[in-house]
Amino acid sequence: MQYKTVQLGGGEDGGTLTVYARSRNPENTPKTRPALLLIPGGGYNMVSFREGEPVALRFLAAGYAVFLLNYTVRAAHPVPFGEACAAMDYIRSHAGEYGVDPHHVCAMGFSAGGHLAGLLATAHADGRPDALPDAVVLGYPVVTAGEFAHEDTMRIGSGGDPALRQKISVEARVTAESAPVFLWHTAEDGLVPVENSLLLAERCRRCGVPFEMHIFERGCHGLSTADAEVSDGGYPPEVGERVPQWIPLALSWLASRGFQVT
């Protein structure tokens, strides 16, 4: 097992990758694995633990090499975005070291981390097509700067600049060159309205970007893996039995796009 922290540069509060990767087994033919850049949420004000390590361990167990991004918080675009781009570059340039396929790198983000992953999915808008993931998985993401915006995320992300706020509205950045998207959300989300995912899905459809979306009826914001690892009190059956299904659904969708251990 390889477990280490890599400094990416940037501000004093972030800009690091925590690497979770299997060691090569000298007793078997070397395997090549897909990679996951994992980006927790926290409203650009903090980096959530519940959306980090618990998710990383689930995807590590599924065969992925996982790279958990701890980005600079309380900083406007392009600071976190630049660190996410540096993380993508690190993963691809060190693919041989970790036994990963540089052509199957997924960026996964939750809430504000979903916004940052969405910026990566549309990195060509910032002149960084080299940082484009091969797919993104977004959980209850902050997407829009419009009517259904999560104001705290957009305020910090834009630094209060109205023009920059519009520039980082993810659905407006989508073109045919954007990365394929897997979306999941809950209809009851009271913090980041489900319209964020709906708006992004509609834009993807119009632009011909492959996408899959799952809207669960019940559940609050910030569910992460929606199991006992991330909740002291547990969840009612309509949440605890259904929402965790986003993980096998996402894995199946990624596998259909070539994200498999070979």
Residue 91, classified by CB atoms within 10 Å of its CB into exposed (0-12), middle (13-18) or buried (19+), is: buried
Is residue 261 included in any domain, yes or no?
no
Give CA–CA dist 259/216, Å, rounded. Answer: 25
Q: Which band of pLDDT confidence, cut at 50, 70 and 90, is reported for residue 24?
A: confident
Q: Is the pLDDT of residue 232 over 90?
A: no
Is residue 160 included in any domain, yes or no?
yes
Q: Is the pLDDT of residue 12 over 60?
A: no
| Domain around 183 | 2-256
Question: Residue 108 in contact with residue 76, Cβ under 8 Å?
Answer: no
* Mean pLDDT of all residues in 187-208: 98
What is the 3-state secondary structure of 96-147? HHHCEEEEEEEEEEECHHHHHHHHHHCHHHHCCHHHCCCEEEEECCCCCCCC
Is residue 171 included in any domain, yes or no?
yes
Question: Residue 210 in contact with residue 180, Cβ under 8 Å?
Answer: yes
3-state secondary structure of 70: strand
Is residue 64 included in any domain, yes or no?
yes
CATH number at residue 137: 3.40.50.1820
Order of strands, edge to edge, in the sheet holding 16-21?
2-7, 16-21, 65-70, 33-39, 100-110, 135-139, 181-186, 211-216
What was the pLDDT predicted at 14? 59
Query: How many domains in the chain?
Result: 1
Is residue 10 included in any domain, yes or no?
yes
* Mean pLDDT of all residues in 82-105: 97
Question: Residue 158 in contact with residue 165, Cβ under 8 Å?
Answer: yes
Is residue 262 included in any domain, yes or no?
no
Is residue 117 included in any domain, yes or no?
yes
Give the chain's mean pLDDT: 95
Strands 135-139 and 181-186: parallel
